[in-house]
Amino acid sequence: SRPDPARSGAAPDAAGDAPADVLARTIAACMAELLDHAQVSIDDDFYDLGGDSLLALRLSGMVAARSGLRLQTTDLMRNATPRELARLSQGDPARPDSLVVIQADGPHIPVIAVHVLGRNQDLFRPLSAALGPDYPVWGLTVGVPGDLSQIDVRATARVYFDELQQHAPGQPVCLIAVSMASYFAFELARLLTEAGRQVPVLAILDATGPGGRPSVQGFGKLRAHLGQLRRLGWGHVETLLEQIRERRIQARDQAQIDAHPDAAATEVVNMEQVIQANVLAVAAYDPVPIDAPIAVFRADHSFWDAPEARRTGLGWAPVARGGWSLHDLPGTHLSILEPGNVDALAGHLRRMIAAAEKAADDAAHSESVRGTGPGPGRNG
């Protein structure tokens, strides 16, 4: 029999006995059990209680087993309380599965962050704030699949493509991704352009391209370290120590998996396994050159990049049939997206979007003068 929510961690509240209220208490009980809380209110936020992307996957399974409600990938990103999730049982079954709003609609071409994870798309919220309210910012995510072997660049990009075709058809879009997610964004750009969609900006954030990213070696590497020490002082040492700690943790986790492969396969996935699955998916992907222009953004703290890495757009030049550009941003691999640093990226994107919109307006005007009708316009 199903557990009684009132006896299983759902906090007493003002909800009644309507089906949605009973469902909300069931979801609250699931959250309490999963997050090890004595009680959870139907208005408590899953992420405020300690939830994350991996725990969201487990919660979805628990809710489905106990109530029959099947939560979609992005439901917990948009609705983080039991009351909000319960309302989904009465909502539109055709709601977006992978597309989430980070910043509401504005008059400009939307910026879409591809393959995002984490609470409330936190990584890209500083960018949306820096762009300003006139720039819509969306996210695409498939979340964390129960079977990590399902992670595949082409298949995932196809899911994103279908989502955009259904829920945002026709209009131009700008794509942006960081690190390995850049390959998912690249494949999505290929699908969109082949379908006749405009992708005026494909922004790649500090990712190594398929052509490789050579680093300085020998005395050149030592000289680069000394340059960073003069520039950043103790901050450079702290960065190196953090990198060493991260590598040790990764090595320890991998050693445990190698020592107990059968046990690792049955345990709940952790973020290190998710990252490794994405690494394998990217390694198995063979990118085809695309016509969309690629804007490559490099973290200026990446002092180890050899001159050849810069000359080839961090390895993206071989697949950039539509041209490419390279821009330095202040910060490290992920801190380029943090408040303060992200202002530089926002400035680049605003200029690129303005140029794309002007080109579209000029083309539309030329066509109207010739009497052939307007061309594809922008959002709004």
Going by C-alpha positions, the residue among 80, 62, 81, 48 that lies closest to residue 8 is: 62
Identify the pLDDT of residue 293.
Answer: 94
Which domains, ranges and CATH numbers included, belong to the chain? Answer: 5-90 (1.10.1200.10), 99-217+267-370 (3.40.50.1820)
Query: What is the reported pTM?
Result: 0.75
- 175 exposed, middle or buried (CB, 10 Å; 0-12, 13-18, 19+)? buried
Mean pLDDT over each residue of the chain, to the nearest integer: 81
Going by C-alpha positions, the residue among 275, 273, 242, 244 that lies closest to residue 258 is: 273
Q: Angle of helix 271-283 relative to helix 153-167, nearest 10 degrees?
A: 100
Identify the pLDDT of residue 301.
Answer: 83
Q: Pick the more confident residue, 163 or 73.
A: 163
Q: What average pLDDT does this structure show over 255-275?
A: 53
Please provide the distance, in angstroms rounded to a whole number, between the alpha carbons at the two ends of the chain.
52
Say if residue 177's pLDDT is above 60.
Answer: yes
Identify the pLDDT of residue 261.
Answer: 44
Name every residue whose Cβ is closer than 8 Å to that of residue 193 and which is 6 or more positions away in sequence: 199, 290, 291, 292
Q: Pick the more confident residue, 84 or 238.
A: 84
Identify the pLDDT of residue 281.
Answer: 93
Q: Pick the more confident residue, 204 or 257.
A: 204
Interatomic CA distance for residues 37 and 86, integer angstroms: 20
